[in-house]
A and B are shown apart, each in its own frame.
Chain A
Amino acid sequence: MAAERPLLEVENLRTYFDTPRGILKAVDGVSFTLDKGETIGIVGESGSGKSVLVRSIMNILTSNAIIPDGSEVFFDGKDTRNLSRSEAKHFWGTQMAMIFQDPMTSLNPVKKVGIQITESIRYHLGASKQEAMERALELMVQVGIPEPRKRLKEYPHQLSGGMRQRVTIAIALACNPKLLIADEPTTALDVTVQKQILDLLASLQEELGMAMILITHDLGVVAGRARRIGVMYAGKMVETADTTTLFHHMNHPYTEALFKSIPRVEHQSHTRLDAISGRPPDMVLDLVGCRFAPRCRYAQEQCITDEPDLFDTGQTGHRQACFYPVGSPENAEALAANQATGITAAGLDLTAAAVS
C-alpha cells in the first residue's frame, strides 16, 4: 500500500529446531512489517518464540535451526537469509544491531569497555585506533555515561547493571544501524533503571531515526514506547494493532489475560490478580486448534478443532486470531455457556481458583 517499501518485511516466517525430542516449532508462521524509524513492541511469555523470531530476522540461529521454504525476511529490499557469511558480517552492526537481556553476559568480562566499543567501529568503518576511540567517547556521552573517559578504561564488572546496559547500547549504535533490536533490554534491571534505559532508547531512536523492535513480556513496558504492538503466543502472532487500539479494544483473550495479570498501583492492596492458569503448550507436539484454547476462559468446540488465522477486525491495522474475540456478542455467549457448565470446551475448570 505504502509507496515506499517498509524497512523490514517478515512474511510467513517459520523457524523450527531439530531437537532430540522431535521438531520444535518455535516460530510458526509470523508476518509483520516495520517502517523506517518506527517502533514495534513484541510481547509474549517465555517460550512464545519472540526471541527466536528476532534471531531469525538477524540470521543468528544455532546450527540445528531449520527455516522451511516459504519463509521470507526482507530487510531494505534484500533477502537476509541469502547473505553469505562475509556479507552477513558487515550486515550485523551496520544495518541491524541487537541488545540482549543480560548486560553482564553480553559483554566480554576480560576486555576493557573502550576496546569493546571500538572493535566494531574499527572493523566495519576501518577507522584508526585514535578515530575509533573518539567515536567511542562520543557514544559514551550519547548514552549518558558519566565520566566517559575514565569509564572507557574500565572493565564491565566495575560498572553497575544500568551502566553496562548503556555500554551494550553504545556498542549497538556504534555503526549507526537502521534497525535496533532490543531483546528484553530491561528485564534484568530495577524499575528505576528500567525507566532510565527505556527513556534513553526512546530519545536515541528519535535522534538517530532508527527503527526498533522492542521485545518484552510486560505490556506495561511497551505501552508508552511502541507505536505498534504484536502479541505472540506459542510461536504465532495472535494480535497486532497500534498501541492505542490494542489497549482500548483488546480482542484476543490472551492479550486480555496478559493485561489482567499485571499488578496495578491503582488497585487496592490484596486485590486478587487474574492469573492465566496453566502453561504454554509443548511446541514439539503437533498442535491442533487454537493454541491458547486450553487456558482460555471462552474456549468452545470450534477452538479445539479449527485453528484461527489472523484476520482484520475492521479497524485499520488491527488484526487478531480468535473466533470469539473479547468484546463481541459471540464472546459473551461463549463465556456464559462456559460459566453455566463450569468448564470450558477444552476442559479448563472455571470454578477452581486460578492455581496452576
Chain B
Amino acid sequence: MAGTGKVHMRGEDALVAVEDLVMEFPAGRRAVVHAVSGISFDILEGETLGLVGESGCGKSTTGRAMMQLPSPTAGSVRFDGVEMTELSKEDLRRTRTRMQMIFQDPISSLNPRRKVKDIVAEGLSIWHNDAGDTAVQKVNEVLDAVGLDPEVVSDRRPHQFSGGQCQRICIARALVLDPKVIICDEPVSALDVSVQAQILNLLEEMKERYGLTLVFIAHDLAVVKNVSDRVVVMYLGKVCEVAGPDTLYAHPAHPYTDVLLASIPEPDPDHPVSDRQITGELPSPINPPSGCRFRTRCEKVQDLCSEEEPELREIAPDHFVACHFPNEVPVSVNGDGDGDGS
C-alpha cells in the first residue's frame, strides 16, 4: 500500500495536482495519527475523480486537505497553477470560492434557523457587495437547476425538507459562486437508495451544465463507479490502486480492491453471496503496519510485504497498483473494457 510513487500523475494538464500529501494529527502523549501518509493524484479539468475506501482510510481528510481545512502537514496541492499550501490567508479565501464542498449529512450542514434563500445567497453576499437583484436571480437560477422551485422553497427553513431535498440545497449553495471544483464528501451515504439515484443523476447534470470538476468521496464502490472517470482506492492513508472505473471493476489488481468489490451486496438472489470477507479490523493509524499497510488483512501476504513498501506501478495502460503480488490483469485490455460476463 504505498502511496509513494507518482507514475500515475499526468503532468502539466491537470487542474488539481496533489503531491506527497501528508496529514498527521497529534493524539496526545507524543503519539501521532497518520491519517494520510504521502499520497499523490491529479485531476484533469472536467473529470470526476472517485476516492474510495473504508472509514478511517483518510479519504475525507484528503478532501479537506485539498481545501486547506486544515492545511496538510506536508506535501503540495496545486490548483489551476496556484500552490494552495503557500497562499496567504486572504489569497486562500479568494481561491476557495472556486473550490466548494458538499458534505455527508445534508441536514446538519444547513443552519436550521436560516431561510433557504439566505443559506444559498450567503456566498454571494460575502463576495459581491452589489447584492440585490442579480444575487436574487442567481440564487433562483441555481435553486431551479437543482430541481427546487425557488418560489416555493426560498422562504422555508431546512427542517421543512427531506434529506434528499436538503442535499439539493447544499448543492445549490456550492454552485452559487460558479466554482471550478466541487469536493463531494460522501454526498449520498446518508440517503435512501431511491433518493441516492436522484442526487447522483443531479450531480452528473450539474457537472455537464456548469462544466464542473468533481472529487467524489465514498465507501460504496458501486456508487463511485457510476459517477467517476478515474478511481483512486485508498487504505489507511495510502493509495492502493488507480484506474479508470470500468478497468478497475473488471480487473481489480489489488487484493484490497478485490475484497471491496466482493462486499457489494448484489440485488440478485441467484448471485451467490461471496464467501470472501475482509478479516480483522483496520489497524490503528497511530501505529500503522510496516511495509504494505494492508498486509495484516491480506490473503496473499508474503515476507516481502512487511519489509518493503510497494510502490505504485503501471501494470496495464492507465492502471496503477501498489502491491508486490497483484492479481493478473490482461495487459491487452484497452483501458475501458467492461467486465461483461457477470
A residues whose Cβ falls under 8 Å from a Cβ of B = 45-46, 146, 160-163, 190-196, 198-199, 202, 217-221, 223-225, 243-244, 247, 257-259, 261-277, 279, 353-356
Contact = CB atoms under 8 A, between A and B. Distances in A.
Contacts of A270: 204, 226-227
B200 A263 contact: yes
A266 B339 contact: yes
16 contacts: A45-B195, A163-B281, A191-B264, A192-B54, A192-B259, A192-B263, A195-B263, A195-B265, A198-B265, A220-B267, A223-B265, A267-B225, A274-B197, A355-B146, A355-B147, A356-B168
Contact of A271 (B226, B263, B267): B226
Contacts of B195: 45, 275
Interface stretch (B29-37, B62-70, B113-121, B269-277): B269-277
Nearest to B191: A46
B221 A269 contact: no
B223 A356 contact: no
A194 B219 CA distance: 11
B260 A191 contact: yes
Contact of B249 (A258, A265, A272, A274): A265
B147 A221 contact: no
Nearest to A272: B201
A164 to B, nearest CB: 12
B201 A194 contact: no
A24 B168 CA distance: 27
Contact of A266 (B204, B223, B342): B342
B24 interface: no
B220 interface: yes
Contacts of B197: 261-263, 273-276
User: Would you list the 10 A-B pairs with minimal beta carbon distance, nearest first?
Assistant: A356-B147, A220-B265, A275-B197, A261-B197, A355-B147, A273-B197, A269-B245, A224-B273, A220-B267, A275-B198
Nearest to A229: B269
Contacts of B270: 244, 247
Nearest to A265: B222
A193 to B, nearest CB: 8
Contacts of B265: 191, 194-195, 198, 218, 220-221, 223-224
Contact of A220 (B148, B266, B342): B266
B226 A162 contact: no
A87 to B, nearest CB: 37
Chain A CB within 10 Å, residue with most, of B221, B226, B281: B226
B282 A160 contact: yes
B278 A196 contact: yes
A266 B280 CA distance: 28
Contacts of B196: 261, 263
Contacts of B223: 263
Contacts of B290: none
Contacts of B158: none
Interface in B222-265: 222-223, 225-229, 244-246, 249, 259-265
Nearest to A274: B197
A196 B274 CA distance: 11
A267 B226 contact: yes
B193 interface: yes
B219 A191 contact: yes
Contact of B266 (A198, A223, A279): A223
Contact of B277 (A195, A263, A275): A195
Contacts of B244: 269
Determine the main DSSP class of B at the interface with A. loop
A268 B338 contact: yes
Given A161-B55, A221-B265, A353 B194 contact: no
Contacts of A257: 194
A223 B339 contact: no
B205 interface: yes
A270 B226 CA distance: 5
A225 B267 CA distance: 11
A194 B198 CA distance: 23
A218 B193 contact: yes
Contact of A269 (B202, B219, B225, B277): B225
A275 B340 CA distance: 24
B227 A269 contact: yes
A224 B269 contact: yes
Nearest to A219: B267
B102 to A, nearest CB: 17
Contact of B194 (A192, A202, A258): A258
A265 B264 contact: yes
A191 B269 CA distance: 18
B226 A220 contact: no
A247 B266 CA distance: 12
A192 B193 contact: no
Contacts of B111: none
Contacts of A247: 267-270
A355 B260 CA distance: 30
A132 to B, nearest CB: 26
A268 B272 CA distance: 22
A224 B274 CA distance: 10
A192 B260 contact: yes
A61 to B, nearest CB: 23
A261 B188 CA distance: 13
Contacts of A146: 280-281
Chain A CB within 10 Å, residue with most, of B163, B222, B261, B274: B222
Nearest to A195: B263
B108 interface: no
Nearest to B225: A269
Given A192-B259, A354-B201, A269 B226 contact: yes
Given A163-B281, A262-B222, 12 more contacts: A146-B280, A162-B281, A190-B54, A217-B192, A220-B267, A261-B196, A263-B222, A264-B222, A276-B198, A279-B162, A355-B198, A356-B148
Contacts of B227: 269-270
Contacts of B340: 266
B221 A265 contact: yes
